[in-house]
Amino acid sequence: MDGTLVGLVAFAAVIGLLALRVPIAFALASVATVGTFVIFAFRTGEFMPDRAFRPTSSLVFSNSFDLIHSYDLSMIPLFVALGHIAYRADITTRIYHAARVWLARVPGGVAMASVVGCGGFSAITGSSIACASTMGRICTPEMLSMGYDKRLATASVAAGGTLGSLIPPSVLFIIYGIFTETSISKLFLAGILPGILSLLGFLLVIWIWVARDPAAAPAFEGRITGRERLKAALDSWPAVTLFVIIVGGIYGGIFTATEAAAICVSAAVAIGFAQRKLTLRSLWEAMRETCLQTASIFLIAAAAKIFVAFIALTGVAPDVVGAATDAELSPVVLMLAIAAIYLVLGMFLDPIGIMVLTLPLMVPLVESYGFDLIWFGVVVIKLLEIGLITPPVGLNVFVIAGVVGKRVPIDRIFAGIVRFLGVDVLVLLLIMSFPVLSLLIPNSM
């Protein structure tokens, strides 16, 4: 049986199962297992199922076992735990409170502080969904009570939450690095400048929005002293310290990303107990949520690893590369086509599902064109970031809608998101056009 045909049918089957709301892990694992069995059963040209059981079970169990025992994968529970512990120790929210104080007199200052807070939260947690959920509960109700435009109050947090995908540490970067066998430390560093550029772009959107419509953000009427500003800045030192440990330690070659995660978890626990913000009960709750979230990610990763092995067995990736070569696509046309595929998939699927579904085909394709996989990783994560706020299934938008309830219809949130999407697309074009934005820091290590 033609392996390429089996591979293409498998892709269609996975997409169909996802459309039926089958969890991504079960969709990938089941299709890959059945597809592998079919290939081995028809190896001699005749259907011989008795010869397919052993090689199929070997491929499925060996690949999932190897992935779960991967050293790099151990940083996922560490960074997930860091996010939960830092939140309960009141570390992640202090950057928002500091920005809230310093930007109080700026038009749209609370919305800007929300974006800055999302950036600070992202620099510790590495999860966009967690960032949008947490900051949405803190920032959005405050802006709505102050009389902010409902579109601005919700869209600014939904867009700011996407920074968790790009600003290190990022769970998506970890998964990308594992499946492409690229340096996760370099991926983390490559996301810094694009992440900062995205954050500044969001701030610019808010500034222009409020400049054109002052009623969208009521002016601050209180008074903030210099002492209050200094105190707010000093109170954010734990978050700054953890970020410096992660980025500075990796950039300086002091320790690996996994070691940075372990050190930061220990530091967060120590700071939380020392400042009496963390209790044994809250630490237990953080560990419980870490286990649940990590188990979900590991299950998806294991299923994806099986699917990648199956795709390699079909030989569909070399056929796709050959078709692109025969079509003589220019690098620009190829990247635009890849971007279009990711943007369309981002309208319907979650980021991890998109990545594990597409990487088996995309990586060989971009490698054949000589593209840098670190740069391509930043492009992919940025595309996935855009998908988090793209209708009709913008996950961050639905997270914020769940926070605000009936006070803000979801169509109003999407109406505000459009302005932020424009900046996201502009940043994406800059990243694609100027790879130095992504490669400057990792190449200077």
- Write a three-state SS string for 201-257: HHHHHHHHHHHHCHHHCCCCCCCCCHHHHHHHHHHCHHHHHHHHHHHHHHHCCCCCH
* Residue 285 is assigned to a structural domain of this protein: yes
CA-atom Rg of the chain in angstroms: 23
Tell me the per-residue pLDDT of 44-55, one tens digit each, with 9 for 90 and over.
667 777 777 888
Question: Residue 254: which domain range?
Answer: 72-297+411-443
* Residue 398 is assigned to a structural domain of this protein: no
* Residue 242 is assigned to a structural domain of this protein: yes
* Residue 350 is assigned to a structural domain of this protein: no
Tell me the per-residue pLDDT of 62-106, one tens digit each, with 9 for 90 and over.
877 777 777 778 888 888 888 888 888 888 788 888 888 888 788
* Residue 354 is assigned to a structural domain of this protein: no
* Residue 88 is assigned to a structural domain of this protein: yes
* Residue 133 is assigned to a structural domain of this protein: yes
HSE-CB of 99 using CA atoms within 13 angstroms: 22
Predicted structure pTM score: 0.86
Tell me the per-residue pLDDT of 350-390, one tens digit each, with 9 for 90 and over.
788 788 888 888 888 888 888 999 999 999 999 988 888 88
Question: What is the average pLDDT value for the chain, to the nearest integer?
Answer: 84
Please check whether residue 8 is in contact with residue 317, taking contact to mean a CB–CB distance below 8 angstroms. no
Tell me the per-residue pLDDT of 166-197, one tens digit each, with 9 for 90 and over.
888 888 888 898 888 888 889 989 999 999 99
Total domains present in the chain: 1
Q: Sign of dihedral through CA atoms 383, 438, 243, 168?
A: positive
* Residue 418 is assigned to a structural domain of this protein: yes
pLDDT at position 209: 92
Distance CA 175, CA 82 (A): 17
Q: Which amino acid is present at 385?
A: E
